[in-house]
């Protein structure tokens, strides 16, 4: 039996949010597995850097809220085997619910609305035996104080995953829920990033935070396994355990 990433050979994979973190790691791993990969991002600078570093991947600039741009991308790519939604598409406020404005709380859900745009525009080009994989997060089911908007958004993503698995079958729809992962999200710590992540990792069962490539492996699994749908895979180092 072929390795799961070998099952992607010559398949068309579109990764929305594919120029950094989990999205980029997924695009690279899929391309290494023989897939023809298209990766989109709203950042022109990231696209330029990624295109130089990964010339075998097709990079395009667009935002998940640009419906016309998404349609144009999927029309350009043509029949698609797998779609991955990994773009944040939102500014998230980490603060107690009662300290957030209504606008701040609603803004977090732009990630969810971006995913709905990706699905609506991508499904017409998706092959019947294809898949959609979305990215949620552990706060959906284990929320720390100050993360209410992130938690609610994650719950919405996981609920959408299950609903779409029913409606779009035999197209498969799944999600991954990462824990604390070493990505650009923590670049705000500057030169203290490594120390901050090390401290966070001390509280994890495995003694460290996760890597984007480890989450990407779960996404590749969901793309390559033809009998998985409506599933959320947790890649969190045991964070959901009591």
Write phi, then psi, for 114 (nearest 5 degrees).
-60, -40
Cis amide leading into 42 (omega within 30): no
pLDDT value of position 1 = 37
Give the closest residue to 93 by CA, choosing from 79, 76, 77, 110: 110
Q: How many CB atoms lie within 10 A of CB 87?
A: 27
pTM, 2 dp: 0.93
Superfamily of domain 4-234: NAD(P)-binding Rossmann-like Domain (3.40.50.720)
Give the closest residue to 2 by CA, choosing from 156, 177, 172, 220: 220
Strands (E), 63-154: 80-85, 126-135
Give the closest residue to 30 by CA, choosing from 182, 216, 234: 216
Active site residue 81: no
Helix (H, G, I), strand (E, B) or coil at 135: strand
Integer-rounded Cα radius of gyration of the chain:
17
- Number of helices (H) and strands (E) in the chain: give both, helices first: 8, 9
Of the residues 136, 148, 149, 151, only one is catalytic, namely: 136
Containing 210, the helix (H) or strand (E) segment is strand 210-211
The residue with tokens 């994989």 is: 133
pLDDT value of position 2 = 45
Written as tens digits, the pLDDT of the chain (242 aa) is 344 557 799 999 999 999 999 999 999 999 999 999 999 999 999 999 999 999 999 999 999 999 999 999 999 999 999 999 999 877 888 899 999 999 999 999 999 999 999 999 999 999 999 999 999 999 999 999 999 999 999 999 999 999 999 999 999 999 999 999 988 777 777 888 888 888 888 888 999 999 999 999 999 999 999 999 999 999 999 999 98
In angstroms, the CA 172 to CA 165 distance is: 6
Write phi, then psi, for 209 (nearest 5 degrees).
-85, 170
Domain extent listing, the chain: 4-234
pLDDT value of position 208 = 94
């Amino acid at each position: 039996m072929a390795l799961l990433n070998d099952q992607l050979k010559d398949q068309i994979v579109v990764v929305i949010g594919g120029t950094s973190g989990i999205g980029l790691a997924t695009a690279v791993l899929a391309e290494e597995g023989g897939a023809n990969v298209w990766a989109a991002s709203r950042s022109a600078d990231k696209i330029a850097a990624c295109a130089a570093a990964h010339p075998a991947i097709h990079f395009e600039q667009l935002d998940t809220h640009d419906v016309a741009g998404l349609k144009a991308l999927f029309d350009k790519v043509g029949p698609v085997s797998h779609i991955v939604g990994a773009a944040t598409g939102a500014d998230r406020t980490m603060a107690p619910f009662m300290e957030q404005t209504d606008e701040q709380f609603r803004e977090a859900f732009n990630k969810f609305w971006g995913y709905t745009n990706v699905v609506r525009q991508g499904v017409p080009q998706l092959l019947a035996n294809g898949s959609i994989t979305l990215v949620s997060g552990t706060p959906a089911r284990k929320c720390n104080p100050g993360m209410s908007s992130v938690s609610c958004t994650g719950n919405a993503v996981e609920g959408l995953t299950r609903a779409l698995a029913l409606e779009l079958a035999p197209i498969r729809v799944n999600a991954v829920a990462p824990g604390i992962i070493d990505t650009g999200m923590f670049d705000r710590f500057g030169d203290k990033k490594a120390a901050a992540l090390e401290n966070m990792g001390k509280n994890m069962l495995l003694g460290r935070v996760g890597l984007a490539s480890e989450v990407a492996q779960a996404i590749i699994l969901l793309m390559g396994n033809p009998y998985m749908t409506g599933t959320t895979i947790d890649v969190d180092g045991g964070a959901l355990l009591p």
